[in-house]
Amino acid sequence: MLLVACALLGGCAREVTRQQVAEFIDMADAAARKRYAPEICELRARDFRSQTTFQGHEGREPTGMEMTRKLYCQQAGQFSRLRQYRLERKSMTIDVATDRKTATVIAEYVETMPYYEQNTYVATPDDFRDFQVVESTDESVVGIEDGDLRFLSTRSDSRQSLVPKDSVQIPYD
């Protein structure tokens, strides 16, 4: 009966461990590489919030954007349209809170994907001249919801640069 109660009432309190969080981040990165929105979305808590600062190429003025889980998940759906995508994690630090209920993960990523210029007609996924390389530092808070680890929030600081299409080899998938 206790097990049923735990399942129905959102899971019993559990502690997060560094190992669990590291595995969770590996799983999240794998979902991002697959660009499969339901899997990406499932790892975000109900009240997930994402805050992004984006510095465009050519020293463009940075933009800031906040997204709820709903909007984030819709964007994850758009992501699936990409046919070439590479995600590399350059570093990761995990800091488990003293109450062991949450952990803060700081990770550096480099993403490479096609850059479709604004207001241009894209007939095929191959209609681009440059790849965009987006270097990001993500600070995420990971916690337990319904008994499973979830991202509670993510703050990203991203910087974009462009490289010619023929200078990078990324397989189609």
Contact positions toward another protein, by CB under 8 A? Answer: 1, 4-5, 7-9, 52, 54-56, 60-63, 65-68, 70-71, 74-75, 78, 118, 160
Strands (E), the chain: 44-55, 63-68, 86-96, 102-115, 130-145, 148-164
Q: Which is nearer to another protein, 52 or 140 (CB)?
A: 52
Q: Which is nearer to another protein, 5 or 123 (CB)?
A: 5
Phi, psi dihedrals of residue 40, rounded to the nearest 5°: -65, -45
- What CA–CA distance (Å, rounded) separates 29 from 38? 14
The distance of closest approach from Cβ of residue 52 to another protein in the complex, given in angstroms and rounded to an integer, is 7
Q: Which is nearer to another protein, 119 or 169 (CB)?
A: 119
What CA–CA distances, in Å, run from 65 to 37, 40, 41, 50, 157? 20, 19, 18, 8, 11
Q: Which is nearer to another protein, 55 or 112 (CB)?
A: 55
The distance of closest approach from Cβ of residue 125 to another protein in the complex, given in angstroms and rounded to an integer, is 16
